[in-house]
Structure formats: structure tokens, C-alpha cells
Chains A and B, each alone.
Chain A
Amino acid sequence: DTGVSQDPRHKITKRGQNVTFRCDPISEHNRLYWYRQTLGQGPEFLTYFQNEAQLEKSRLLSDRFSAERPKGSFSTLEIQRTEQGDSAMYLCASSLARGGMNTGELFFGEGSRLTVL
């Protein structure tokens, strides 16, 4: 399977604990995105990487959230001191931008569902 993969698919944690999600994009894609989706809403942009550089972060991304993409390959999204409001589906997507031109077409993984008790 050469699609976007995310791990774990489901995570249940207690309030105050730290969690980390991993995303493996399509190998030739240079852009990687994290989105958050809550019930009844569309995906909300969190952050994106061009290769290994994190170029944009949403105001939704508080200081408790950190994302990395070492060497421009897989990415991790860590949430520290989780709160119940962090419960959501965390989606990873990747895309290929050539010469700085991006058509915006995203390829999504199946998501990591976080439940904070």
C-alpha cells in the first residue's frame, strides 16, 4: 500500500497525559499537513510542512501541540497535557508541489482518533 498511513488509529488517554501520533506520507510527496476533525465539522487546518520545514501553524495549535518532520519523511504530532477538548480525529495528508505550484489536491490517511477521558 503506497497511501498515507497513520498510527495509532485509536488512542484513549486520561487528561493530563501526553500522546504522539505518527504519519507516513506518500513517499514522493514533499508537503505534509495535519488537520483536526471534530464531530459534525470538516477538517480544520493545524499545520503544514514543506519537506522538513514547518512553514505554517494555525492559531488552533496551542503551545501544547508540537509537530515535527525530521528529514522530510514521516511526521509526528505530539499533544502534551491533554485536555478533554483535544478529543478529535487527527488527520494527516500529503501532496506534491512542483516548482512551488500547489494544486491543493490532498491525499489523506484514515486518521488517528483521540479520546481524552
Chain B
Amino acid sequence: AQSVTQLDSQVPVFEEAPVELRCNYSSSVSVYLFWYVQYPNQGLQLLLKYLSGSTLVESINGFEAEFNKSQTSFHLRKPSVHISDTAEYFCAVSFTGGFKTIFGAGTRLFVKA
């Protein structure tokens, strides 16, 4: 069965520090990978995605994630976080030719001044 594991439920970090949010998935078929972000009192929105091609993908606000097929991981990184990055981040996977997207339990990023 396919699954997504986010290894950290909460990550507190100081402003301007680097951060890594970890995500591992389990699948026997090819996958598409996503990170969604949910700001307080808002809906989930797509942060970045890996469909094919370059294994390093970037968002417009400085986050990046790298697809590592051998380690079945898709960790999210940012070299310097801002207070405004405080949110819950969800790793998600869907399966090529499929319809369902499976989400991890989420990681709450809390950026402190």
C-alpha cells in the first residue's frame, strides 16, 4: 500500500535559519510528489511539485525540494526562513495513471523572531 510519512510533527526554528522538513513515501509504482502549505485559517495551496525531469524543484518563495528515488524521499528545504513561513506543510503523493492523492500527517513549522 502507498503511504507518506512526515518524520517531524513540529519544527521550531529561528528567523533566518535554514530548515528541512522531511518526507518519505512508499510506492510500488511511479509517483508525482507535492508539498502543500496551509497558513492559519486558510485552505491548502500548492507550494511545489515534482512530475518528471529535474529532481530539484523550487517554489517562488525560496523553498526547494529534491526527489530522491533511491531513498524514496522528497524533503523540503529553505536556506533562510521568515516569520511569514509559519504554517503547516503537507507532503503528498499521487500515482501516475491514478486519481488519488495521499497526504502525510503534516509538519507544523514555527518561525521565531
Task: Give A contacts to B, CB under 8 Å.
Answer: 4, 31, 33, 35, 40-45, 48, 50, 55-56, 91, 93, 97, 101-111
Q: Categorize the interface residue count of chain B.
A: 20 to 34
Chain B binding site: helix, strand, loop or mixed by DSSP?
strand
List chain A residues, Cβ under 8 A from B45.
108
Partner of A45, one of B32, B36, B101: B101
Decide: A42 and B90 in contact? CB cutoff 8 A: yes
The verdict on B25 contacting chain A, using a C-beta distance below 8 Å, is: no
List chain B residues, Cβ under 8 A from A109.
43
A-B contact pairs, 25 of them (CB 8 A): A33-B101, A40-B106, A41-B106, A42-B4, A42-B6, A42-B103, A42-B104, A42-B105, A42-B106, A43-B90, A44-B103, A48-B100, A91-B44, A101-B97, A102-B99, A104-B34, A104-B93, A104-B95, A104-B98, A105-B46, A106-B36, A108-B44, A110-B42, A110-B43, A111-B43
List chain A residues, Cβ under 8 A from B100.
45, 48, 56
Q: With contacts A42-B106, A102-B94, A104-B32 known, is A55 near B99, CB below 8 A?
A: yes
